[in-house]
Amino acid sequence: MNENEFDRTARAWLDEGPTEMSDRVIQAALDEVHATQQRLAMWPARRYPQMNNMLRAIAAAAVVVGVGVTAINVLPAQDAANGSLPTSSPTAAPTPSAAPTLASSPSTVTPGSLCTTDGCQVGKLAPGTYSFDAGTVTPRRLTFTVPAGWRIDKDGFVRKGQAGSPIEMAFVTWTVSHIYTDICQHDGALVSAGTTTGELADLLAAQKGRQASPVTDVLVGDFPAKRVALTIPIDFDVSSCDGGIVRFWPDPGPDESGGLCCTPAGSTDVVYVVDVPGNRFTVVARNNWDSIRGDVAELDGIVRSIQIEDAGRGSPSPSTP
Amino acid sequence: MDRALVEAARSGDEEAFASIARGSADRLFSVAHRILRDVGRAEDAVQQTLVTAWRELPRLREAERFDAWIHRILVHACYVEAKRASKWTANVVALSIAEPSTPDATVAVATRDALERGFRRLPPEQRAVFVLHHYVGWPLGDIAESLGVPLGTVKSRLHYATSTLRAALEADARGVTPASRERMA
């Protein structure tokens, strides 16, 4: 039997058998549905309302102190200490922090502020420098520069590559208060993420279900940070996980709503836990097992272009227009 | 699937979800039955799938991906049912084809039996890929995306499933004694 004959035979065999579900079973399922509460949404449409009060306070404090913007680069700490690499990027020009108007069409977003507390603009990003304002998806105002070919979604994910495909890349920021000790069997696995960058980085490195690189010290511009690369093994069966998805952390607070989740096997999150006084937060640079090398370099460039306002220093970086 | 219905259900509209469930149930049941080869277990898997889908629906980000998403839940439910089945019946059931079927003249009885035996030897992960590809008709990339596994894993599972079933057919063609059939079941 050749391959075509086998395929035909197999399909004919599979076509046999019942194709109608009994109404009794459907009704039983709907009865159970009626008695079942829906979970809260996973994605950060919920992140904004939950963070509003805290981040509004942070933003307000930042304005009172006098906001400066300090150029940052993600560099190994020792290199920066040796002065062998620049500490700022003169090409990354922060933009005014006026609240943006959400894009009326999902076509092209031009450089400027990307998000409000109601969500982010959606569309292709024209090459240039963009910002996340304090109180939106980051506790401090943050700018970054993207080349052509990237886009942003309403949740603040800056992406390249077909959504859900094995080449997709993403860049996103997050505030993490709790994490799951097991990304797959995550029901009941939520623990506090501690308060220091080291505690969070160590917890991430120990998360069951992902392979972790050693935790290293880096500088995100002038700010100390911990870096850890976390990979879901390519043969990992995500469908066997609770709810059929992996979860890494929920949005701030222990109620398990929102959060970062749902990546396929073979994806790698490079997580930078940044220590900005009073505002620990994470920057996640994600690539997939089939991501294109040039795109990975672009993602690295985006992370290196990040600048974070420094409320304590009071003066803007030289790159401020 | 009607995107508006999915979005309404995602917002907690039970009537919208009931419409989705009634519109999807036969298809989900057909797939589950092909994977599990048992009407009762397929019904249980679909029932569990619908309840899980309702509970998790607010977490579905893109309504247009509902079909792939609910099939992932269904396959997971089939894994659970298959494990439960193997726990209780591994050494008891042999060639149980009790449910009604429509005889197909194009598939000879001996061939059908050989495929049935071969298929029952497959782990559920390979069964699912084989059914999604040959019965649902999805390309391998879509299966990988739906199940959340790498494309290479899908190819590997399909390869092993196909090899096993071809071997079963070839053994049947050579002539297999009833005694050996019982051991294979």
Q: What is the pLDDT of residues A289-319, one digit of tens each?
A: 777 778 888 999 999 999 998 765 543 343 3
Give mean pLDDT, residues A57-85: 38
Closest residue in A to B49 (Cα) is: A29
The strand pairing partners of A253, in sequence order, are none
Closest residue in B to A289 (Cα) is: B150
- How would you classify the pairing of strands A74-76 and A108-109? unpaired
Closest residue in A to B52 (Cα) is: A243
Place of tokens 């850890």: A228
| Ramachandran angles phi, psi of A270, nearest 5° | -90, 115
Coil, strand or helix: which one is A212?
strand
Q: Nearest by CB to A17, which of B21, B33, B162?
A: B33
Structure confidence at residue A222 (pLDDT): 75
**B180 min Cα distance to partner chain A (Å):** 22
| Residue A185 to residue A265: CA distance in whole angstroms | 15
A41:B59 CB<8 A: yes
| Chain B interface test: which of A1, A8, A14, A22 (most B C-beta within 10 Å) | A14
Percent of chain A with pLDDT over 70: 72
- Confidence band of B134 (pLDDT split at 50, 70, 90): very high
Give mean pLDDT, residues B21-37: 95
**A137 min Cα distance to partner chain B (Å):** 18
| Chain A interface test: which of B19, B37, B76 (most A C-beta within 10 Å) | B76
Give mean pLDDT, residues B149-169: 87
More confident residue, B33 or A55: B33
Mean of the per-residue pLDDT values for chain A? Answer: 75
A13:B111 CB<8 A: yes
What residues of chain B lie within 8 A of the CB of A239, using their CB? 72, 75-76, 79, 147-149
| Residues in contact with B116: Cβ distance below 8 Å, sequence separation at least 6, in sequence order | B37, B95, B97
**A157 min Cα distance to partner chain B (Å):** 13
Mean of the per-residue pLDDT values for chain B? Answer: 80
| Residue A127 to residue A129: CA distance in whole angstroms | 7
Query: Taking 50 as the threshold, does the pLDDT of residue A81 lie above it?
Result: no
What residues of chain B lie within 8 A of the CB of A26, using their CB? 21-22, 25, 50
| Chain A interface test: which of B54, B143, B145 (most A C-beta within 10 Å) | B54
Per residue in A126-151, pLDDT (tens digit) is 999 999 988 888 888 899 999 999 99
More confident residue, A4 or A80: A4
More confident residue, B91 or A41: A41
What residues of chain B lie within 8 A of the CB of A259, using their CB? none
Q: Nearest by CB to B149, which of A22, A34, A238?
A: A238
Give mean pLDDT, residues A192-196: 93
What residues of chain A lie within 8 A of the CB of B148, using their CB? 238-239, 244-245, 264-265
The strand pairing partners of A220, in sequence order, are A74, A223
Per residue in B62-120, pLDDT (tens digit) is 788 899 889 989 998 898 888 776 544 433 333 334 444 444 445 678 888 889 988 98
Place of tokens 């998360």: A207
Structure confidence at residue A148 (pLDDT): 93
Structure confidence at residue B162 (pLDDT): 92
Give mean pLDDT, residues B119-130: 91
Among A4-13, A19-28, A87-96, B31-40, where is mean pLDDT lowest?
A87-96
Give mean pLDDT, residues A232-236: 83
ipTM value of the model?
Answer: 0.81
- Confidence band of A88 (pLDDT split at 50, 70, 90): very low
- The radius of gyration of chain A's CA atoms, rounded to the nearest angstrom, is 22
Query: Taking 70 as the threshold, does the pLDDT of residue A73 lie above it?
Result: no
Structure confidence at residue A292 (pLDDT): 76
* pTM score over 0.95: no
A19:B26 CB<8 A: yes
Give mean pLDDT, residues B134-162: 88
Closest residue in B to A29 (Cα) is: B47
| Chain B interface test: which of A7, A8, A26 (most B C-beta within 10 Å) | A26
The secondary structure element, H or E, covering residue B159 is helix B151-174
Query: Taking 90 as the threshold, does the pLDDT of residue B60 lie above it?
Result: no
More confident residue, A140 or A167: A140
